[in-house]
Structure 1
């Protein structure tokens, strides 16, 4: 053992702390049994980084060389002793708390390089995970006497973003835990669920116990009589109330792994663990830090997937849907200029899907197909009540969150002093338009009630002369326009002028941009490469050209869809493709769709490729993707 330790000591002197350790002591004698190895590492009481790494390298080499040797009861006891030693030295320390917050930040400029001390610690943790995985090939995790401790330790390395996790430790931890979960599921025993319950009850719950939430009871249900809180809770500034954030920094990652284990077939187990799951999620969402809020929203979404697919009604029974809504809704207000655009995108990108998932789980999606409804009048009434409540909640998201947020971050209504709409946060505006498309598809025909709010917003975006500077914004606006046309088609004819104006103006701007790119490309051909500015090369990249081509296809598809809808409006169409419109004098007049489109092409011939393009079934994927 002394020679082996000496070799390990020499290896550590030149080991690269940024790479995974690979110690192969060729020609040296290894311990004959696990009891010899166990005694050697446990008899050393030193906790110094150097000696711990030496012991881990010795253990790694010995376990990898075990092969198919006979496994005795003495070896089993020694293996359990080794597991106990490994879990004591393998959990990330509180010193990672300072860099954990920024590790999940959307702003890469805030990411801090690890100090030498943290790199040393990460090296030791990566080595410890490797040893645990090697030991699990000899004594499987499910046979370990401290299986909960071992699972918690491995689960601490299941997030690549954590500063203590390396690529190797992440991969090895996932492989070992995946094999353990698969084995437990195949054995069809309750061991997996008892292990998860013990983790939630003894490892997660105590860490979040001091972070109180008056909206829920101790049993995880909605508190119908919450005590009014103070205007500012000073305890939120006390690190002692949030050990999960400042001391046991790994627990959120363990919690995330535990929730990812549930499947739709595990609804019974999820519901039994629900009181242990809800408080930590709400604590994360209510945290003042954007990165932890984001993790809380992502965890809620993860939790609701098996519940929704398993058709669980636990949100209705516990009345917790309103609690989740109240927790997430303030997150939607994290907008510039108070919140930086990167952080706003990070949080809203998790909050909107989580909120929509809450509503879909609380009010299971009810289709209009009569065959999907129950013949029972009681169930039919419940069906309609759920649908009404769902539409009401979705409408709140549209009016109070999406439209208001879009107006807040942009000047999308031209004024006398500023005739051009402006979008100072184009990425965030693009995201909100994407959410608008999703919400319109959820509202379906109910979108018609809000066309007066939606159409001007889309028009100002599509007609912006500087829109091609950020093509994803125009793509999102075109997709949203298509969604509005599809869902509000019975009333869209009243807004055909604004929609056509937006599509045609955007089309002309795209043609102008393509012309400018072609001219710059032609000039660059006759100039030396050194004289071409980097900005010009970037602007005229193949990506920009392909994005413009995609935008043109989407505009064509949107215009074609609008024409089809206008011609086939159910209660107003006739055989000639005309319908009646009441003018400002109260008189009715025939509207000829083909004629109106033709007048636009007469005014500008370049619109012909937009408004009178031949569409075949094979073109649908290109035009509407």
Structure 2
């Protein structure tokens, strides 16, 4: 065998446990590797590189034969053969003008070898050798880059299966991907996706376009089923239909049909089969959800497809996305997969043409898929995971309800406006604001569900977890700012929640929660001012007790600057309350004067009232 010496040198390189983050090292005369996270325990390793063993008279057909010798993904010589192929391609001994067909054959073989199959992933554990997958993937990417430079006029067309393997390495957060392989994969894709030929694609699975209701806004017309760009055809035909659809077909949720439309009569899941650990053997589970176990990179491919789609493509091919996306959203574990699914959904929602999901009935289906995540609360969900999941789920629901994140900070000129304007003018202004923030009936119902069944339920269930309390205050503040005057209907519950947080004598042990509650109070005072006078005494009590708790805590856990910030924001809230009562023709100073006589240390808090 002409590559015997080359393979032997490659095996020695692999035995040194050197992860080839920079495979160009294989082309140097001598290799000296300093000790690092992937190096051997010795401080320095010096080896003879495979390039010294590259045979003379080398041709691309020889390299094609060498690549064909890799029989299995996890074979012991996989990395050594890839290293040898790379060294041979970079060698000056390679003959000129290689045949493009032979180059594409090598690319196809390399793509199959570098596919990150997680062979050790099961329901109970994951024994996959990710270091090996990472090494092979990075070497494979460098080989593909070398093949592109060898092709005549640089017009090498990578086969679809190879492109799918490249896409699998586009996100550095995956355990089989490094930052180096991610950058190289994205560079390769940018030069090949736009010029991909449909004839190079994997034969797509048979597909029948769904029948759509007349007037739904998504009817098909002749010539509209085929995307107009090469990238669009690749995503629709090769990625979504040919590759992803068969992998997700067995685990499709009952709320959606095979054609991607909402099911008219969804069947409930089996009673004892609502999780991976029930209703079947372990091998059945892994076969049912290959995208969660052996072929986890399918989620990466779908995320790439979503991020590289556009509104026109979704207008035509939305039915190809929805079954896959709903399958991912319905998967409760692990938390990392749920977070990724929600992120993909947010991209999908933003790209979809306005009103398309509502007209097709899928908006309610996605709401039912996303909303349960807001109930991922302790003790069933660890506090850290709960905080992460809630931080992803609520913004997704805010996207669905249709308002953007606004700056919740209250400026001084807004306080002045409340003080200077009369009640009638303020009512007219809020009526105009309500019209500009108009919500549909469906959006109002979702807002009501988010507040009552989401934030309030979550707060009362997890109020002992102070970090979650802080998060719920911030979330409710965004809701109040987004809903405007509509948030008046929740004022009783919101004031009660603020009171529990601010009057708690142990609240000073975690100042961020106190500060978030004060900011929430300020948003309520600004937005719900017509009803605030009815809660004037309660708000005075809240601010007074919070001030005394801060002043009396000698062991304040935070810095002096944070304590000062809390007091300043309380003073600002009282100033806003004074402005609201003045606009309502009420005298707040009569209520405050007895308090100042009994507790002189409250004087800085109620300076605005005392001045009157």
2:77 maps to what in 1?
51
**Within 5 Å, which residues of 2 pair with 1:600-611?**
600-611=595-606
Counterpart Cα distance in 1 of 2:163 and 2:369: 31
In 2: Cα distance, 1:433 partner to 1:388 partner:
26
Change (3 A) 1:454 1:235: closer
Task: From 249, 272, 277, give the equivalent of 2:296.
Answer: 249
User: CA contact under 8 A between 2:373 and 2:390: conserved in structure 1?
Assistant: yes
Distance change in 2, residues 1:563/1:295 (3 Å): same
* TM-score after normalising by structure 2: 0.75
What's 2:163 paired with? Answer: 151
Q: What residue is the counterpart of 2:393 in the other structure? A: 351
Residues 1:41 and 2:66 are matched in the alignment: yes
Instruction: Tell me, in whole angstroms, the C-alpha distance in 2 between the residues paired with 1:147 and 1:3.
Output: 31
- Assess, with a 3 A threshold, how the Cα gap between structure 1 residues 12 and 268 changes in structure 2: closer, same or farther: same
Task: Give how far 1:139 is off.
Answer: 5.3
Residue 457 in structure 1 maps to residue 497 in structure 2: yes
How far apart are 1:85 and its partner, in Å? 1.3
Cα deviation code 1:252-303 (max 9, x no counterpart):
11111211223xxx21102223111111121122224242333322221121
Tell me how far apart the structure 2 counterparts of residues 403 and 448 of structure 1 sit (CA, whole Å): 15
Q: Distance in 1 between matches of 2:563 and 2:189?
A: 46
| CA 1:9–1:389: 2 relative to 1, 3 Å | closer
Q: Does 1:298 align with 2:343?
A: yes
- Residues 60, 508 of structure 1: alpha-carbon distance in 2 compared, 3 angstrom cutoff: farther
460-469 or 387-396: which moved more?
387-396
CA distance in 1, matches of 2:151, 2:582: 72
Q: Which residue of 2 aligns with 1:474?
A: 514
Q: In the aligned structure 2, how far is the partner of 1:491 from the partner of 1:598?
A: 23
Which is richer in helix? 1
Aligned residue in 1 for 2:457 = 404
Deviation at 1:408, TM superposition (A): 1.7
Deviation at 1:208, TM superposition (A): 0.8
Aligned to 2:316: 272
2:246 aligned with 1:206 = yes
1:85-124 alignment runs, 5 A limit: 85-98=109-122, 117-124=129-136
Moved more, 133-142 or 234-243: 133-142
Cα offset for 1:93? Answer: 1.8
- 1:95 counterpart SS class: coil
Which 5+ residue runs of structure 2 have no aligned equivalent?
Answer: 30-50, 197-226, 279-283, 405-429
Q: Distance in 2 between matches of 1:601 and 1:559?
A: 14
2:143 matched to which residue of 1? 131
Deviations, residues 475-521 of structure 1 (Å, cap 9, x unaligned):
221222122222211111211222232233323333344x435xxxx
Q: Does 1:325 align with 2:367?
A: yes
- 509, 516, 519: which one aligns with 2:555: 516
Deviation of 1:427 (Å): 1.6
Cα separation, 2, equivalents of 1:279 and 1:304? 14
Distance 1:599 1:140, change over 3 A: farther
Task: Note if contact 2:434-2:485 (Cα within 8 Å) is conserved in structure 1.
Answer: no
Residue 501 of structure 1 pairs with residue 527 of structure 2: no
1:558-569 equivalences under 5 Å are 558-568=573-583
Contact 1:80–1:145 under 8 Å retained in 2: yes
Counterpart CA distance in 2 for 1:408 and 1:462 is: 18
Structure 1 CA distance for aligned equivalents of residues 434 and 358 of structure 2? 24
Aligned-residue offset at 1:144? 4.5
Q: Give the distance between the partners of 1:485 and 1:346, measured in 2 at CA.
A: 29
Q: What's the offset of the Cα at 1:40? A: 4.8
Aligned length: 519
* CA–CA separation in structure 2 for the residues paired with 1:282 and 1:369: 38
Q: CA deviation at 1:210?
A: 0.6
Q: 1:435-446 maps to which residues of 2 (within 5 A)?
A: 435-446=475-486
Residue of structure 2 equivalent to 1:23: 25
Q: Check the 8 A contact 1:437/1:480 in 2, yes or no.
A: yes
